[in-house]
Chain A
Amino acid sequence: LAKTTQPISMDSYEGQEVNITCSHNNIATNDYITWYQQFPSQGPRFIIQGYKTKVTNEVASLFIPADRKSSTLSLPRVSLSDTAVYYCLVVVNSGGYQKVTFGTGTKLQVIP
């Protein structure tokens, strides 16, 4: 299983862009990179998923270099409500279904 490494915590002021980088050195050829957000006492919520280069949706962008050994989640102009734990995951296809293994996550604290 591809292991992910990301910073334990980050602080940011409101309105700033936040970039969270994750390393996944032994990612397999067909694995996808997925990011989830989790608020306290809630289940994780899907943010974005990508395979290579850049993916953008209404809430975030995901940058993946050519070697795919790392990825960066970019949150534009964060607000206080973005304070949460962000998990970088490598989606493993195990026996035909999706098995998701969580790393430590990055606790983002947005400061007024």
Chain B
Amino acid sequence: GAVVSQHPSWVICKSGTSVKIECRSLDFQATTMFWYRQFPKQSLMLMATSNEGSKATYEQGVEKDKFLINHASLTLSTLTVTSAHPEDSSFYICSAAPAGRAGRDTEAFFGQGTRLTVV
């Protein structure tokens, strides 16, 4: 089946620094990728939709200047958490659907997630 890979799997950073998380579709092209955040014992919250070659679309309440998204190719989207604070500590997950097949009857493939801890 299709594979979506995230890197790193976990990261610890100091407060005030920036952290970049990569999301790659390994065996398919994805014009659109999605970024989620999940706090302990809670569900996934959609943060933004990453569009290849154009600006990301952010969900209400998500600061676009803090969570920078770049989708430079059909297989890579990056999420940069800028000036990280302890409250940004969370589990970040990306997902993607194959280009040309995206639609209501297509499953989305999820990465394994990235555990961010800001100290």
Q: What residues of chain A lie closer than 8 Å to B46, measured between beta carbons?
A: 99-102
Number of interface residues of B (CB under 8 A): 28
Q: What residues of chain A lie closer than 8 Å to B6, measured between beta carbons?
A: 43
Q: Cα distance A92–B49 when bound, in Å?
A: 13
| Segment from B13-21, B65-73, B74-82, B95-103 that makes contact with A | B95-103
Number of interface residues of A (CB under 8 A): 28
Q: Cα distance A49–B108 when bound, in Å?
A: 11
The total of interchain contacts (Cβ-Cβ below 8 angstroms) comes to: 70
Other than A31-B104, A46-B109, A96-B103, give 16 A-B pairs with Cβ distance below 8 A: A36-B110, A41-B113, A42-B113, A43-B6, A43-B111, A44-B93, A46-B108, A49-B107, A87-B43, A93-B103, A94-B49, A96-B102, A97-B103, A98-B32, A100-B34, A104-B43
